Structure 1
């Protein structure tokens, strides 16, 4: 796999197609997102990586600065922007009750999410999926993006033929979220094999 990683080294999704750059998710950038497990731009501990590479698939602790008073719901999107694909891979997509205040480690688990957390479908599956970059591909950046929404994302089926929020693919769902976004912040963790 090291050879494959080296061959793909110049292929990276980049951040052009991240949730952060979707026009409907633009907004003020005053929210500070932090983790006690790693600093912004810092290396992510192996326990937060995928089980396939010896990790625990344990979502990290996340905390944020006070939210705007009219925040109805939080949207969390975790993307690998260095995956050798055309667009970043969504490693987690979740809706969070603003009253949660923060997320403890493991709160983004598919089977037992933390209080006030609704995990949605990601590129890989449901819930948090930790880093598992191709060996030898170099460092991968995992961008945790948090959006304070003024209107909750509708969780009920819409018109006939539409997919409910909890079953929609991320690239289908994200462009349909209407805001406005009251505030947003991001945190980047790095992992390399």
Structure 2
């Protein structure tokens, strides 16, 4: 497979050189390097965002567990009051503890809001990565189209005629005569690839 791939790349390079397309090959090569750099950047952004989200969740979970446990304990004390199990002094202490718990819940809510904002901000990579991925897809489609056109133009006559666009006189371009994915698959099959 390696030898065959190397042969194909050599053939493509030589063919492009013969038809004076070295500049196109150089441009495509530099675009591919730029695409690789962009994909590495996308990977680093998504890794950084995932790490930020997981760290923020790790920070928030114990605080939420502690708040839930304190709430359950407070509820049990109030249940004891309503069943008549608490003295007046214990009721006064419960009332004071309830006020403190309300302050704790308010502070915990603000802290949780800040953590949620951090998680939301960590997702800002999506806009950047979406744009980069769109560019990578467009470049990939362009390279595929150009390679398919090169194959079609240099195919044996019987295969070439099957995939050559119909000659049109004048007028606007017609999408139905362009190579679509089905045509590319057929061309590659007919050429033995």
What TM-score does the superposition give when structure 1 sets the normalisation length?
Answer: 0.20
Between 1 and 2, higher relative CO (CA 8 Å, sep ≥ 6) is seen in 1
- Greater Rg over alpha carbons, structure: 2
What TM-score does the superposition give when structure 2 sets the normalisation length?
Answer: 0.20
- In terms of fraction of residues, the more strand-rich structure is 1
